[in-house]
Amino acid sequence: MIPTKEEWNEALFRRHGKDVQEKLLSATVAVCGLGGLGSNIAVALARAGVGKLILIDFDRVDITNLHRQQYKANQIGKYKTEALSENLKEIAPYIDLVIHTERVTEENTAYLLKGADIVCEAFDNAECKAMLTNLVLETMPDKFLVAASGMAGFGSANSIKTRRITSKFYLCGDGESDVAEKGSLVSSRVMLCAAHQAHTILRVLAGEFET
């Protein structure tokens, strides 16, 4: 039996406190890229009771994604937006989801991110990461941006960090481990970075800021 919405929210109130939970429930977070970072971030935010997620990715689930991304073997070939929506609705049935199955470009970013309080950069391509970061920080001064750089390889878990670069810009990762040099993306280390991003988003929504 799936719990009622009232039972669901009551359980969240008990875990996070009513004041914080009401902030999470009324928030909208845009997750740009639904790979190793974005799919794990979305799951953490959905479980925590964030009210609305905007999920953006043009790609389909591939067999090479399954070692670190929140998809299932029977979802290979589906659009990530649709597959992740199914999985998130199973986890958190009352979450509000908006999906955009398209590439993020300089032209469509404002439209795709409309209504988001926080933008989560979760791409894999470094140039796409920089493009979104600059565009959001230059043209959307009301939004927070939580981005990631450096989580490839088998390096120490403890080198993944969260830093506040400007008042609205947080950066997670070790800052240097590039998949092109490390040659691998390991689920646990990518999930560490995703957890840093998800936790930063929840902290910002709760009104807790890094110094």
Partner 1 sequence: MVKINGEELNIAGKTVAEYLATTNYDPKRIAVERNGDIVPKAQYSETVLKDGDSLEIVSFAGGG
Residues found near partner 1 in the complex (CB under 8 A):
33, 35-38, 122-127, 129-131, 133-134, 137-138, 147-152, 165-167, 169, 171, 173, 175-180, 182, 185, 190
Provide the terminal-to-terminal Cα distance of the chain, rounded to the nearest Å.
44
What are the b/e assignments for 171-190, b being 16+ CB within 10 Å? bbbbeebebeebeebbeebb
Q: Considering the complex, what minimum distance in angstroms separates the CB of residue 139 from partner 1?
A: 9
In the bound state with partner 1, the residue whose beta carbon lies nearer, of 24 and 119, is 119
Q: Considering the complex, what minimum distance in angstroms separates the CB of residue 147 from partner 1?
A: 8
In the bound state with partner 1, the residue whose beta carbon lies nearer, of 87 and 177, is 177
Q: Considering the complex, what minimum distance in angstroms separates the CB of residue 15 from partner 1?
A: 29
* Beta-carbon-side half-sphere exposure of residue 89 (alpha carbons within 13 Å): 11
Q: Considering the complex, what minimum distance in angstroms separates the CB of residue 44 from partner 1?
A: 15
Q: Considering the complex, what minimum distance in angstroms separates the CB of residue 55 from partner 1?
A: 15
**CB count, 10 Å around CB of 60?**
17
In the bound state with partner 1, the residue whose beta carbon lies nearer, of 39 and 85, is 39
DSSP code, position 4: P
In the bound state with partner 1, the residue whose beta carbon lies nearer, of 4 and 134, is 134
In the bound state with partner 1, the residue whose beta carbon lies nearer, of 24 and 122, is 122
Q: Considering the complex, what minimum distance in angstroms separates the CB of residue 161 from partner 1?
A: 13
3-state secondary structure of 76: coil
Q: Do 116 and 144 form a contact (C-beta atoms < 8 A)?
A: no
In the bound state with partner 1, the residue whose beta carbon lies nearer, of 25 and 43, is 43
By DSSP bridging, strand 28-32 and strand 52-56 are parallel
CA angle at residue 129 from 42 to 63, to 5 degrees?
55
Q: Do 45 and 202 form a contact (C-beta atoms < 8 A)?
A: yes
